[in-house]
Amino acid sequence: MYGFIWRKLPFGIPGKIGGMLILLGGIGALLWFFAFPRLEPLLPFDDSQISDAPTEEMDPNNQIPDEEPSDPPLPEDEEGDGGGSGGGDLLPGG
């Protein structure tokens, strides 16, 4: 079918490419503005199985507990300035 359409389009390669783009655009517009709106009521895109309201089947005790910090705070240096000029420095000259 595509070969038949390609052979019937006039004006050489540039005309065939332009004609195919026009045909595809026209078919897309027909689908977008006429076919899809008529098919939308038949498709189940709006039927959700998840609701926001809690149901009576849910257990009220089955809740996620408040989050606790995952990492304890890091201990500060003994000097309290975060740095240090003592013997524990890793970089020379500091």
pLDDT of residue 82: 53
**Using one digit for the tens of pLDDT, what is the confidence trace for 35-90?**
988 988 888 777 667 766 665 555 566 666 566 656 666 777 655 555 555 555 56
What's the rounded Cα separation, in Å, for the pair 94 and 88? 10
Residue environment code for 51-78, b if the CB has 16+ CB neighbours within 10 A, otherwise e: eeeeeeeeeeeeeeeeeeeeeeeeeeee
44 φ, ψ (degrees, to nearest 5): -90, 40
What is the pLDDT at residue 41?
82
pTM to 2 decimal places: 0.43
For position 88, what pLDDT does the model report? 56
